[in-house]
Chains A and B, each alone.
Chain A
């Protein structure tokens, strides 16, 4: 359980990536919104990379040049990291929509 808690500690910041990446929504030009979207996606990606590394650090041991992993734990951790990355991407989308005043079709 402590490992799971540790993973969430590493993963949690990525939820806020999207929301923090933009300035004042609704005021920016389209080009600015596009640029902000690109920055947001890049930031989410970098967070995803560090989450991957956190998973490997937690569930794998390196002995010289050999790596031994708890495959089940690593698999679960990476699944969670993917879900977090997905959430960050969706946050970027939502912020972009707000920035550019884009209408979203109701589901």
Chain B
């Protein structure tokens, strides 16, 4: 009896369960049928997926929606990431802008204590780096020049997927093509490598962007972009100088292998007037590292030129290519050994080194480069700066280096602005039109930098007024 009761109870429960399941399934079908039969849109009931899709960029749509396994939660998450990423990128751009606003194009200078490089590094090490690129049609388009370049380089270095097509899209959408190209070229050159881009800051070539390590451009598409940039001779704005330096450097890695590269670099390397200072320097820096026999031939050709302005750079960077690969001079070796605290000997040492430079035919650019390097180090007392400046500028030992030294020292300390007038005088005496244009740019930057320092401002304006007399035609 008991067994019969149990069986009956089990059958009853099973029937109830089956009926409930059937009922639920039936209701489910009806609801689905009901949804599909909606003919008129009801805003309150539109699928959330469609709403989210509207806010996504085409790349995100492709990347996230093609796989069937994407759930609504994942899409919502992707959308949130893009939005928050854009905000974080915006924050980064603002930080870069603040430094650039404060320091002008000096914001990238490696000798500046707070520069864009330090902003970049602290951003990268703060784990704030977003997981996706900023929307190329969004707020990033409103970014200002240097910050946009920095963003493009940083994202390139970080290896974001789809970076190249993102750059293409950005180029299509933005009017700031030069800035984007600067960022792209610097990214193509990589973040590590045998080339030290900080070297460009040691010479008056107006490179004003991210320094550090770099390697050769290898992709055909990168070389094409660089070649196109060099072929359009445009030096209207300060960013053009930087762009041309990077383009020439990018090409120089293939100097031995590619005929079209040698053709593209021919004008910046050998054309006498006007000197394409920036592209010339970029090419030399790269050739010194990557060059072989053909580069060595070109370097020899340059050395045979009369009054070749780039001898100091060439000696500093292309030593390995020079046929007469001599050991450093005795004067160089002695100057290298001077103590950084040798203040008492600095006057005599500097005078003697310059006398040797003069007597040896003013060709020991390695020595001159060393003196310059030591003079620009504020903690190094071995070189007497006023003597070096006077000898280079007033006694005509090496005007280009002298003007550069004065500019750099003026940026370091307003006390040195007294020498600006001497530099202006030297430029006018040498009739160095292109250098003069660059010097005037520096004066404008210094004017902003020392707007609150009356004596420096007077010096700067004296130099401006001096050059304004019978000003040469603009380039």
A interface vs B, CB < 8 Å?
A: 34, 37-38, 41-42, 45, 48-49, 52-53, 56, 59-60, 67, 69, 71, 74-75, 78, 82-83, 85-86, 89-90, 92-93, 96-97, 100, 102-105, 107
Contact = CB atoms under 8 A, between A and B. Distances in A.
B465 A49 contact: no
Given A52-B347, A97-B462, A103-B465, A85 B386 contact: yes
27 contacts: A34-B425, A37-B425, A41-B390, A41-B425, A45-B387, A49-B347, A53-B347, A59-B344, A71-B341, A82-B386, A85-B386, A86-B415, A86-B418, A89-B418, A89-B421, A90-B458, A92-B421, A93-B459, A93-B462, A96-B466, A97-B462, A97-B465, A102-B465, A102-B469, A103-B465, A105-B461, A107-B458
B202 to A, nearest CB: 24
Nearest to A90: B418
Contacts of A42: 394
Interface of B: 341, 343-345, 347, 384, 386-387, 390, 394, 415, 418-419, 421-422, 425, 429, 454, 457-459, 461-462, 464-466, 469
A38 B425 CA distance: 9
Nearest to B429: A34
Contacts of B469: 100, 102
A92 B386 CA distance: 15
A30 B429 CA distance: 12
Given A107-B454, A107-B457, A56 B462 contact: no
A105 B415 contact: no
A107 B394 contact: no
Contact of A69 (B344, B384, B394, B415): B344
Nearest to B351: A49
Contact of A104 (B384, B386, B465): B465
B431 to A, nearest CB: 13
A86 to B, nearest CB: 4
A48 B386 CA distance: 9
Contacts of B345: 67
A49 B384 CA distance: 10
B390 A69 contact: no
Contacts of B457: 107
Contact of B394 (A38, A78, A83, A102): A38
Contacts of B419: 89
Contacts of A69: 343-344
A83 B415 contact: yes
Given A82-B415, A102-B466, A104-B462, 14 more contacts: A37-B425, A38-B394, A59-B344, A85-B418, A90-B458, A90-B459, A92-B421, A96-B466, A97-B465, A103-B465, A104-B458, A105-B461, A105-B465, A107-B458
Nearest to B454: A107
Nearest to A41: B394
A71 to B, nearest CB: 7
A41 B387 CA distance: 12
A103 B384 CA distance: 33
Nearest to A106: B461
A38 B393 CA distance: 11
A16 B389 CA distance: 21
A78 B341 CA distance: 13
Contact of A60 (B341, B344, B394, B458): B344
A45 B394 contact: yes
Contacts of B386: 45, 48, 82, 85
Most chain A CB neighbours (cut-off 10 Å) among B390, B461, B469: B390
